Amino acid sequence: MKRSFFAVLVIPLLAPLASLQAIEETNPNIVIILINDLGYADIGPFGATKQKTPNLDRMADEGMKLTSFYASPVCSVSRAELLTGCYGPRVSVAGTYFPVDTQGLNPREFTIAKRLKEHGYATQCVGKWHLGDQPAFLPTKHGFDHYFGIPYAHDMKRKSKETGGQVVPLLRDDKVVELLTDMQQSRIVERFTTEAVGFIRANKDNPFFLYLPHMAVHPPNFPGEKFRGKSGNGLFSDWVEEVDWSVGQVLDTLRELKLAEQTLVIFTSDNGPWLAKGAEAGKALPLRGGKGTTWEGGVRVPTIAWWPGKIAPKSVSDAVTGTIDLLPTCVMIAGGKLPANPVIDGRDLTPVLSGKSKESPREAHYYFSGYTLEAVRQGPWKLTLVAQQNALEQSSGEQLKFTPRLYNLDKDIGETIDFADAHPDVVNKLTVLATKMNDEIGGKAPKARRPGGFVIDPKPLFLIDDAPKAMDNVKPAALHTLKPGDAIPAAEAPQIGGKAFTLTCQIETDLRDTIIVAHGGSMVGYALHLKEGRVVFSVRTGGNNAITDVRSEPIKGPVRITATLGKDGAITLTVGDQAAVTGKAPGLIPRQPQEDFCLGFDNGFPVAIYSKVKLFAGKITDLNVTTP
C-alpha cells in the first residue's frame, strides 16, 4: 500500500507544496516521458499542424505547458542532466556515448531512481538509455529495479556474428534478449508502451517511478505499421502520431486505474530537431537552430506537466526551467529532502507547477556545449559568450564573431537582434554569473567537476564482426577524385584508428572560415579547417571535448598543407613556407571514426570547434592521407 509521507516531511519544505498536496496524502507516482529529437514546434500544443496529437492536446488542456523548458544540445548529456539534476559538465558527461565506449554515467552519482527508492518506490526504465552500454553503466546500476530497452541510439547498428545483419541489442535488465533489425524496430514504440503500461498495472498499489525515454523520433524514422502513412505527411509525422498514441495509452491507463490524481506526468524532449536530416526531422520554429547547438531551437523543448487536481488545466508557465529541475522536484513531492552534497544544479519546480510562482527557481540558466559555456540566460536576457554553432543545420546561418551578444528572448525569440551595446549593465551582470559557473564546472580547470564513469576494457554486448574484418574487402576511396561537398562512408575512408597518419593537400580559397576536411564526430576524429584565415588541425581523441588544436599564421593565396599525428600524440602542422607549428594530443585517435569522411563541410556532430560553418568554396587538390 502507498504510505503517507506527511510524517517524514520536514515543516520548512511543506509550504511550497500545499496546493499540490491538498488532495493526495500519499507518495504520488511519477512518470517522465522523454522523446528523442522532438522539436519545439512538433506537437499540437506548441503549434504543429501537419501531424495530429490529440492525446498531447488533451494533456496540455488538462495540465501546464512549460514554454521555456531547457534540455541540452545532445542526447547523452540531456539524459544525464535529467536523471542527476546536474549540468553535464558537473558529472563529466559532455558528449554522446557510442557502443563499446569506455565512458558512461558514473554509478556513484545519485539519480532520480536512486533517490525515489529511498522512499519505497518501484522503479523502471523503458526505452533508450544512452548513458553507457557497459554493465557498470546500465540502468540497473543507477537505481532502476528493471530495464527494458536499447542502450544507445537506434542508428548505432553493428554487424552481428550470429545473424549477419546490422542490428541493435534489446536488453531486459542487463541481458541482451533480442537483436533488432531496422524492420523490427518499427514495433519499438508499441513494445515500449506495452512494457510501460504493464509496469503501471503491476504497481498500481505501490508508489512507482516510470522513466519512458522513447527512441522516436530520432532519424531514421521507424513508425509502426498501424501508423505508417497515416499522417499524410511522411514518416516523421507518422512517428510523432505514434508517440502521441503511446502517451494516450499511459494516461488512459492511469485514468482507468484511478491513479490520475495520484500521478505527476512530465512529457518533454532531449534536445531540438536534427535539422540536417531534412524531412526525417522536425521543426523548432519560431526558435533558431536545432540539435547540436545552443541556439534556442537546439535546447528549448516542448514540455507538458500533468497532474489532475494539482496542476491547473490549460495553464502556461514561461518561467525558465529544465530537465535539471526534475530530480529535486521528484524528491520533494515524494516527501524527501536533498542533502547539501553532492551538489546539484536543479531546483524544485513545485511552486511553478502549483501556479504559486511565475519566476524561475534558479538564478540563471547555463548553456553548455561539451565543457564550453556558450551562453547564460536570466529572465528574458540571453548572453552568448562564443559563436554558437550551426553544424547540424542545413544552412550555415549568420556568421558570428567571438564577441558577446545579448538577446532579449521576450522581444526577439529568434535571436536576431544584438542588444549588447544598449544594455552594458546586463552584459556585465550575466558575464559575472557566467564566469562564476565556468570556474566551477566549465573549461579545462574546473573546481567542482565530479569524475565520470570509466571502464578499462569495454566489451560489446553481443558478438560483432570486428571493424577491420568487415573492411577487408572494401576498396578505399580515391581521395584525389573528391570535390568539396563530397562525403564517403567510414569503411571507405582512410583507416586511421589507433595509427599515426599524415594528411596532405593544397588549397586555394577566399574564405577565412570554412572546413577543408572533417572525419569524425562527438567522440573521436580529426578536422582540417580555416578559422579567421588560419589553418587549424584539430584532433579529437575522446568525448567531452577532448580536442587538441594547432594553428598556422594567416594564409593568403594557394598553400600546401601537411598535418601529422605521430604515434605518441605529437602533432605537426606545416603550411606553405611558414615554420611548422606543433602540439601534443593525449595519444592517437583510439578507434576508426564511424562518421563519413567529408570534404569541404562536416555533415554530422562537429568533430572540431568551428568558428563558422560554410561549405568550402575554391580548390582542394592533391588530397591524401597516409599511415606508416
Give the model's confidence band at 473: pLDDT under 50 very low, under 70 low, under 90 confident, else very high. Answer: low
pLDDT in tens, 201-252: 999 999 999 999 999 999 999 999 999 999 999 999 999 999 999 999 999 9
Residue with the three cell numbers 549593465: 425
Classified as helix, coil or strand, 476 is coil
**How buried is 117 (Cβ within 10 angstroms: 0-12 exposed, 13-18 middle, 19+ buried)?**
middle
pLDDT of residue 110: 98
Active site residue 529: no
In this structure, what C-alpha cell is assigned to residue 206? 505501490
Share of the chain above pLDDT 90, in %: 78
**6, pLDDT greater than 50:** no
pLDDT reported for residue 562: 97
With pLDDT > 70 as the criterion, what percentage of the chain qualifies?
Answer: 91
Q: Which residue intervals of the chain bear CATH 2.60.120.200? A: 467-626
pLDDT band at 443 (very low <50, low <70, confident <90, very high): confident
Of the candidates 132, 252, 254, 238, the one whose C-alpha atom is nearest the C-alpha of residue 189 is 238
The helix or strand, by DSSP H or E, that contains position 204, with its residue range, turns out to be none
CATH number of 467-626: 2.60.120.200
pLDDT of amino acid 296: 97
3-state secondary structure 129-188: CCCCCCHHHCHHHCCCCEEEECCCCCCCCEEECCCCCEEEEEEECCEEEEEECHHHHCCH
What pLDDT, in 10s, does the model give residues 380-399?
999 999 877 654 443 333 44
Where, residue-wise, is CATH 3.30.1120.10 in the chain? 372-453
Residue in 539, 534, 478, 477 with CA at minimum distance from that of residue 507: 534
Select which of 75, 125, 330, 505 is catalytic: 75
- Which amino acid is it at 262? Q
pLDDT at residue 503, rounded to an integer = 97
pLDDT tens per residue across span 13-47: 333 444 554 334 579 999 999 999 999 999 999 99
Give the total residue count for the chain. 628
pLDDT at 1 over 50: no
* pLDDT tens, residue by residue, 136-184: 999 999 999 999 999 999 999 999 999 999 999 999 999 999 999 999 9
pLDDT tens per residue across span 302-347: 999 999 999 999 999 999 999 999 999 999 999 999 999 999 999 9
Q: Quick check: is 505 catalytic?
A: no
**Per-residue confidence (pLDDT) for residue 221, from 0 to 100:** 95
The CATH 3.40.720.10 domain(s) of the chain lie at 11-357
Contact status, residue 389 vs residue 375, Cβ threshold 8 Å: no
Q: Select which of 86, 125, 130, 519 is catalytic.
A: 130
Q: Is the bond leading into 342 cis (omega within 30 degrees of zero)?
A: yes
560-577: average pLDDT: 95
pLDDT at 330: 98
Cα distance between residue 187 and residue 150, in whole Å: 13
pLDDT tops 50 at residue 5 = no
Q: Is residue 565's pLDDT more than 70?
A: yes
Is the domain spanning 372-453 CATH 3.30.1120.10? The answer is yes
pLDDT tens, position by position, 509-529 = 999 999 999 998 877 899 999
- Mean pLDDT in residue range 585-595: 87
pLDDT of residue 613: 65
What pTM did the predictor assign? 0.79
Query: CATH number of the domain at 11-357, out of 3.30.700.30, 3.30.70.660, 3.40.720.10, 3.30.70.100?
Result: 3.40.720.10
Average pLDDT, the chain: 90
Confidence of residue 101 (pLDDT cuts 50, 70, 90): confident
Contacts of residue 230, defined as CB under 8 A and 6 or more positions apart, other chains included, come to 223, 238, 241
Place of cell 514495433: 187
The pLDDT confidence band at residue 544, using thresholds 50, 70 and 90, is: low
The answer to whether 29 and 263 have CB atoms below 8 angstroms apart is: yes
Pseudo-torsion of CA 420, 367, 615, 522, nearest 10°?
160
Rounded CA-CA distance 428/400 in Å is 20
596-627 burial, b at 16+ Cβ within 10 Å, e below that, comes to bbbbbbbbbbbbbbbbbbbebeeebeebebee
Lowest-pLDDT choice from 99-103, 109-113, 291-295? 99-103
